[in-house]
Structure 1
Amino acid sequence: MSAAFDGSGYRQRVLAVLRARSPLRLDDPFFVADLDPEGGDTDAEVQARLARVLAFLQRERSSAKYATLAAELVRRRAEWEAPLRDAEARERTRQRVVEARRDGDTERLAKVDGYLATVRERFGGIPVSRVEGLRRLAAQAGVAGERFEVRLARERLIDDAAGVGVAPLPADARGQIRDRLDELRALRRGDHASTASLWAFLGVAPDGPPARLVAAYEAVAAVNARRPHDREKTVTADLLALVRGRLLEGDPAAYTAGLLADAADELRAAVEEHVLLDGEITAVAFEGLMRRALGAGRGLSAAQVRSVVLGLARDLGVPVSTGATVDFVVCPGCGRPEPVGEVRVCRYCDTDLYIVCPTCGRLTEAAAVVCRQCGQSVRQSRDATEALAAIRRALDDGRPAEA
C-alpha cells in the first residue's frame, strides 16, 4: 500500500457519498477507511491507512464543505476503526461487508432494470430521447458507467430523438414538400411506402450516415435521368431538388422536426376535445390518436407519434393512460396502421403487410424504409431486384438494347 494519501479522491469517493446519506451510517468500515475488502492488506498496512484517514479527517474539520461530517467521523471513530484493527475482527467484518455489498448491488441493479422495464412497456423499446434521463437515474441508484451501458445494450433502442428540440422547417416549406410527395403518390397509383416522407422517397433511415444519404440521392437521380420525359420525372426532379436543399445542404433534423410539428398540429384539436369531454386521454383514445397520426402518411415511427401525443397532453396538463404497449405496422397500399403481429394482410385493402427482406431474407414490414432486422434499405434492395428482373425479361425477349 502506498504511503501517499489522495485527499481529493477520498473526498469524492467517501465523504461526498457519506454526506448524501441521511442518517449517517457507518456499517461499512472498509468504505469509511477507503479500503478494498478483497485487497488482502496486512495489519501494518491497515493500521497505517487508518492513521492517515484519521489525520485527514482532523484537518477537514476546518473545511467549509465537510467540517460537520469530518467532526462526526472523528467523534465516532471507534465504530469504523475497531472492526478493522484486529485481523480476526477484520475478517468477520469483511465477510459481512462483501455479502451486504453484493445484496445492495443486486438491489440497485434490480431498481435500474425496473426503470428500463417501465419505459420499455410504455414505448415498446427505449426511446433515444430518454436514454440520458435513464442514465442519470441509474447513476443516482448507484449503477453508472459500463454497468448501465451493459444493461442498455440488451434493449431495443427507438430513434425518436431526431427533430426533438430543433426548430422545424417553416410551414410553407413543409407544405411544398408534402404537395410534391402527394402528387408523386398519385402518379405511382397510391404508393404510400415510397412517398411518406423525403426519407421514404430516398429509401434511407433518418438517422443514417450522411454518406448513405448522398448515395441514395445520387441513385434516385441516376434512375430519374433515364426515365422518359413525363410528369413523374418532373415531380421526382422537384423532390430531388428539395432533398438537396433541405437534407444535403440544410439541417435534416429540421425536416424531421417539421414532420413532428405537422403531426402535433393535426392532433391538437382531437386532444383538446378529449380534454374538454373526458378530462383525460384514455387508453382507447390514446390508441385512436396513434392510429390517426400514423395513418396520415408522414412516415413517422410509432415512438415518434407517442412522443407527439404525450407532448400535447403535457402541454394541456391532461393525464394519459397509454394502456398496453402496441406497436404498429403501416400498410404500404392504403397507409392504414395495424397492430404488429395481429394480421399478415391489411384488412382494408388486402395488401401484404410484411415482405421478405431482399438483403437478409428475414421478414420485415413491407412499408419500412429500412429492414428492421439488418438495417439495409428495403426500397433500394427491392428496386435493384426489380431492375435485375426487368433486365432478364428484356434479354429473354430478345431486346438487348432495352436491357
Structure 2
Amino acid sequence: MQPFTPNDYRKRVLAAVERRGGADSSDSFELYDIPLEESDSLTDDEVNTRIDEVWGFWQRHRDHPKYRVLVERLVAEHPHRSAPLRQRDSRSAEARTVSDARQQRDQGRYELLDNAIERLMDRYGGIPTSKRAGLDEIGAMGGLTADEVTVRLRRYRIIDDADTAPEPEMASPTTSLSDQRLIQITELLAEFSRRRDAPPVHTLLGFLRLDTDAITDRDTISRSAAILREQARALPAGRMRALVDELLIHVESILLEAPATADAYLRSILDGVDAALRPQIRAAVLVEDRLHPSDHQYLLEQARDLDLSTRDARALITRIAAEYGATVENPPPPPAQTRATQTPPAAAGSPGEWQAALRSARKALRSDRLDAARDHCARARAAAGDDPVARRQIDAVADEAERRSAAPTPAQPATPTQTPAPARQVTTAPPTPTTPTATTPPPAGPDLPPITGVTVSGDRLLFTWPAGVTEAVVVIRSDAPPEYPADPRATSTKVTNTRYEIDGGVVLPHSAARQGHVAVASCRRDIRGRLEVAGSFGPQAHAPL
C-alpha cells in the first residue's frame, strides 16, 4: 500500500467517484484507498492509519467547491463504511463481497458491446470494417477503452466491406462565449442541482424552467428570471442564495443583453446535446441502419431532459441519424396528458390554484400514489392555462409520475433488465399474497418474431431461435402455463443464444417443479442496453416440465 498523498487521492479517487455518480457507485476499499488485493496482508494498524488519514482529508475538504456534497455524505457515513475494514476477519469478508461486486460491474461493462457484436455476427457473419468505429463508441458507452474493445474483437472475423467512408465530423461554430465561461456556468448549475431535491439542471434555460424554444423570447426569459429573483430573496443567506444570484447574473448577460450572445449559447447547448446523443444514435443504427421508434422516443426524452424543445430535439436526432446513412422512424405522438403542449390552452386560474394542485401532486408522488399525482397535475394544468413557467414545473412532475408508472413495482415483477441472472439460476417460488388476479392485462411489449419448438429433454430446455433474435426470457410457473412473459405468478430468467449453444440448451435448475410449465419469449435490446421482452408468447412457445 502506497503512502497517502492528498493531491493524488483527490485526483485519482475522489474525482473518479464523482464522475461515476457519487458514493453509491463506489465501495469502502476504493473510498479509503486500500488496495483490495492487499486486504489480507495488511495489518489492522496499517488499515486504521489509512482510514484516519482519509477521514482527516474529508474533514479538510467539506467546503471544497466541487466535492463538498460528496464529501459531506462520506463524512456522515464514515462510521458505517469504515467499521468492516478495521478488523481482519470482517475486512476479509468485506473484500470478498467487494470483489464479487467489482467483477459483476466489469462484466456489465462489456454487455452493450457483446450484444452489438452478436447482432452483427448474426446479420453479416462477421464484423464489417464500416461498423468497426461504431463498436468503439458502443464500448465507450459501457466505460470501455478503445484498447479493451480491440482485444474483445480479436476472437471475431472482420469483413472488408465497400462502405469505408469516414465518420462525419461536426463543424465547430464560432462562438463569442469562452470555454472558461461555459465551464463556469456548468459547474454552478451542477452544484445548484446537487443542493436541490429535484431533477438536475443542465442549462441556464433549464434553470429558468424553459427550453430552447424560448431562446429568442426575451419577455418570457425576463419574467422567469424575475420570479426566480423574487424567490431567492426569501432564501436565507448562504451558498444556495449565492448560487442563484450568480446564475441570474449569467442569465442577464447571456440571454438578455445581445441576441448574438444568446445565439452562441444556444449553439453551445446544441453541441453539448449532440455530443451526448451521437454515440447512442450511432449504436442504435449500427446494425439495421434505421432508428427504431422506441429508440427515437427515448432519445427525444433525453434531449428534452437536456432542455431542448421537442422541435429542436427532433431536428438534431434526424440530422445525426442522416449523417450515418440511417432512416428515422418517428415515434407516435405522446398521450395528451403527458405533455402540456399537446393540450389546448385552458383558461388560466389564479396562480395559487395551480401551485396548490402542484404541491398536492408532489406530495402524492413522494407517497408513490401515482394516479393521484397525475390527477393533481391535470388540475394544475387546467388552472395554469398557457403560463410557460407553470407548465414547465407541472410537466416535470407529470413526467416523473409517468416514468415511475413505467418502472417495475413489487406487485408487477419486471422482466430482466441490465444485469439478468444466468440461465442456471432459474428458481421457482410460490405466489405472494399480493399476486394480481388473472384478469390483470399483460403489459405491452415490442413486436418480435416468436420462439418456436419449445421442448424439454432431460435437464435441458430446447427451442428454435427466430432470425435476428439473440436473447430470450425463460418463464417457469408451477401451477399453470405462464399467461404472458411478465406473469407475476411465474419466475423468469434471461438466456443468450451464445450461452444456449455452449450448454446445448437452457439448463433447467433442480429446484424447478417438474410438474410445472415453461414458456419462452423473444427479447431485444433498446438503445439504453435495457432488455425489452415481447408482450406475449408464440403459439409454439409452451411446454410442460
Q: Flag whether TM exceeds 0.5 (same fold).
A: no
Return the TM-score normalized by structure 2: 0.30
Structure with the bigger percentage of strand: 2
Task: Specify which structure has the bigger relative contact order, considering alpha-carbon pairs within 8 angstroms and separated by 6 or more residues.
Answer: 1
Higher normalized helix content (fraction of residues): 1
